[in-house]
Amino acid sequence: MSSFLVRVIIIVLALLGISAFLLYRRRQHPHAEAGEDVGRGPDSATLAAPDAVELGADIPPRPPVEKWDDQSKRRKLPPGEYRAAADEPETDPEPLS
Amino acid sequence: MVRIIQSRDLNPVPAGGWETNVATAFDDVFVTGNWFGAYSRDGGSSWVKVNPKGLQPETYVKFCDQRVLYIPQINRFAWVILANTEGGPITLAISEPARLRDSSGRSWVRYHIWPRTVRQEEQSFDFPDISFGDSYLYLTSNIGPRGMIARFPLGELAQAATVNMQYYILPQTWICPVQSTGAKGFFGAHTDVSKMRVWSWAEPASAHIMSAEFPIATIRTEDWVVDLPSEQWFVPDHSPDNEIIGAARLRNELWFAWMEARRVAGHPEARVFPFPHINTAVVSATSLALLRQERIWSSKAAYGWPVLTANDRDVALLCVYGGGQIQGGAELCVGLLTSPRQLQLVTSGNLGASGWHYMGVRPAYLSTTAFAAVGYNRRLLPVPENISRPRYVVFERD
């Protein structure tokens, strides 16, 4: 048997082996996903069938804006280890034509 | 170039026109703002006002934080609205184009999601947002000091039937859902000034949510103020906001966008940007790893309030641009972030500030190329004309 034929057989066997391994892994982990599993399934709730509603066409005056921007509901991002930003070109929009 | 197909103010002008959102289904267009709803049956040429108040249980008198979208695979509009933020429900309303045409935008069915629905009786919802995938409508919200990711089967919503909702309560707040999300729900949030976390939730009902955290370039959180000729602020100094407010999927890329200020707190060696601006993170949908970051900044003016959506070709952006050397206020800007990046102003003469958490951009269904956006104008006209004027824009890549 020529050395060329031996090499071809070795390559074919190697490819078959790799394919079989990948198939085995897929069967072992059918839903393999990137990232960490949160370790539990979702909770569930049932929403009753909806009721129909016919809305009005007149919009009432709104309350003062000050009441809506409650700063206690905002957050300041926690500190973290500094990481420099890459240099990137600036962009300006095309003016209104 | 970005081709502007349409750009006009809503007329009649609904009051309370900030925090805008939009959904289109061919000629049927539904627009929401902080304090209004509006419907057009002729592609945005004419509008009728819709009062969102009736969506809520009768005991709640305030509403805000509205979001709307059109889900083509079930031919339904979905609309969420937050009732009185102290313990009130998120109302999810569903309607279809024919029903809106027959009722001038006023006929809907509604579900209520209460804090007790997700076993958080002592807490309140805040800042809800929605997106949809192949089989689910996704809803995110703050719930007290935590966050919620929930989903609802589209088939059950289309039938106006009992809905089996699945949800997670997570330690993270300000979770932004990814638009055009496909066969998995994706979500993102900053976890500190140099990290973000991404969640993926495959659509089989038994699937667990997965997440990955990774470092990003440190977010600039200091020095927000941009003086405008009108002596208003481009960004309200008292409410700087670095949260992710725009996210969309294009094939294997998840794009996330947020606002940054000029300086990194506590790091004088860090580069100082001339104006507040937009930063993005592009993340692999397969590996949940950061692929790159693309900053949108200018030495002439400030950028802010980026919201995103996507079709099969492009990631589309709506934001505001102004102040600085251009000597103007906050003008609306639309664009396409996919290479080649294209940005286009669609308003002029706005002297006032902008913002208030978010604006709205969506695919302009049933077009496969166009996008619809709604922001608002602040022209600083004499009272009583000094109101926020919602501006409806349709655009595509030229």
* CB pair distance less than 8 Å for A80 and B267: no
Q: Please report the pLDDT score of residue A67 as a whole number.
A: 47
Q: Is the CB of residue A46 less than 8 Å from the CB of residue B162?
A: yes
Helix, strand, coil content of chain A in percent (nearest 5) = 35, 10, 55
Give the number of beta-carbon pairs within 8 Å between A and B: 231
Name the closest residue on chain A to residue B164, using Cα atoms.
A46
* Region for B357 from its dihedrals, namely left if φ exceeds 0, alpha if ψ lies in -120 to 50, beta otherwise: left
Q: Best interface-test mutation with B: which of A47, A73, A75 has the largest number of B CBs within 10 A?
A: A47
Chain B CB contacts of A43 below 8 Å: 118-119, 166-169
Of B328, B318, B300, which is closest to residue B234 (Cα–Cα)? B328
Residue B353: pLDDT above 80? no
- With b for 16 or more beta-carbon neighbours within 10 A and e for fewer, the B210-247 pattern comes to bbbeeebbbbbbebbebebeeebbbbbeeebbbbbbbb
Higher pLDDT pick, B124 / B18: B124
DSSP H or E stretch at residue A22: helix A3-28
Residue B105, classed as helix, strand or coil, is: coil
B56 by Cβ neighbours in 10 Å (0-12 / 13-18 / 19+) ranks as buried
Q: Please report the pLDDT score of residue B35 as a whole number.
A: 86
Residue B99: pLDDT above 90? yes
Chain A CB contacts of B63 below 8 Å: none
Q: Are strands B195-202 and B184-192 parallel, antiparallel or unpaired?
A: antiparallel
Higher pLDDT pick, A49 / B19: A49
Nearest to A35 among B111, B288, B299 (CB): B288
Q: Please report the pLDDT score of residue B349 as a whole number.
A: 84
Lowest-pLDDT range of A74-83, B127-136, B354-363: B354-363
Of B285, B354, B346, B353, which is closest to residue B317 (Cα–Cα)? B346
DSSP H or E stretch at residue A9: helix A3-28
Nearest to B335 among A74, A80, A93 (CB): A93
Q: How far is A73 from chain B (nearest CA, A)?
A: 8
Q: How far is A56 from chain B (nearest CA, A)?
A: 5
Chain B CB contacts of A31 below 8 Å: 202, 204, 207
Alpha helices in chain B (DSSP H): 97-103, 154-158
Name the closest residue on chain B to residue A92, using Cα atoms.
B298
Q: Is the CB of residue B276 less than 8 Å from the CB of residue B303?
A: yes
How many other CB atoms are found less than 10 A from the CB of residue B330?
A: 32
**How do residues A14-24 score in pLDDT, each as one tens digit?**
899 888 887 77
How many other CB atoms are found less than 10 A from the CB of residue A13?
A: 10
Separation between Cα atoms, residue B89 and residue B165, nearest integer Å: 15
CA B1 and chain centroid, separation: 24
Chain B CB contacts of A92 below 8 Å: 298, 300-301, 321, 343
Rounded mean pLDDT of chain B?
92
Average pLDDT of the residues in B8-25: 88
Higher pLDDT pick, B224 / B62: B224
Q: Please report the pLDDT score of residue B226 as a whole number.
A: 85
Q: Would you say the C-alpha torsion A34, A39, A41, A44 has a positive or negative sign?
A: negative
Chain A CB contacts of B162 below 8 Å: 46-49
DSSP H or E stretch at residue B284: strand B277-284
Q: Please report the pLDDT score of residue B34 as a whole number.
A: 85
**How do residues B155-171 score in pLDDT, each as one tens digit?**
999 999 999 999 999 99
Residue B308: pLDDT above 80? yes
* CB pair distance less than 8 Å for A73 and B126: yes
| Stretch 40-59 of chain A: residues touching chain B, C-beta under 8 Å | 40-59
Average pLDDT of the residues in B175-181: 97
Q: Please report the pLDDT score of residue B238 as a whole number.
A: 54
Of B80, B74, B112, B78, which is closest to residue B95 (Cα–Cα)? B78
Residue B187: pLDDT above 90? yes
Separation between Cα atoms, residue B237 and residue B222, nearest integer Å: 10
Average pLDDT of the residues in A50-72: 75
* CB pair distance less than 8 Å for B163 and A47: yes
**How do residues B261-279 score in pLDDT, each as one tens digit?**
999 999 999 999 999 999 9
Q: Is the CB of residue B163 less than 8 Å from the CB of residue B185?
A: no
Q: Is the CB of residue B336 less than 8 Å from the CB of residue B316?
A: yes
Q: Please report the pLDDT score of residue B357 as a whole number.
A: 79
Average pLDDT of the residues in A66-83: 74
Of B212, B76, B215, B193, which is closest to residue B132 (Cα–Cα)? B76
**Residue B139: pLDDT band with limits 50, 70, 90:** very high
Separation between Cα atoms, residue B98 and residue B93, nearest integer Å: 15
Q: What is the DSSP string of B235-271?
A: S-TT----SEEEEEEETTEEEEEEEE-SB-TT-TTSP
Task: List strand residue ranges (DSSP E) for B119-183, in order.
Answer: 125-132, 136-143, 146-153, 163-170, 176-177
* CB pair distance less than 8 Å for B165 and A80: no
**Residue B199: pLDDT band with limits 50, 70, 90:** very high
A80 by Cβ neighbours in 10 Å (0-12 / 13-18 / 19+) ranks as middle
Residue B338: pLDDT above 60? yes
Q: Is the CB of residue B318 less than 8 Å from the CB of residue B306?
A: yes
Q: Please report the pLDDT score of residue B309 as a whole number.
A: 98
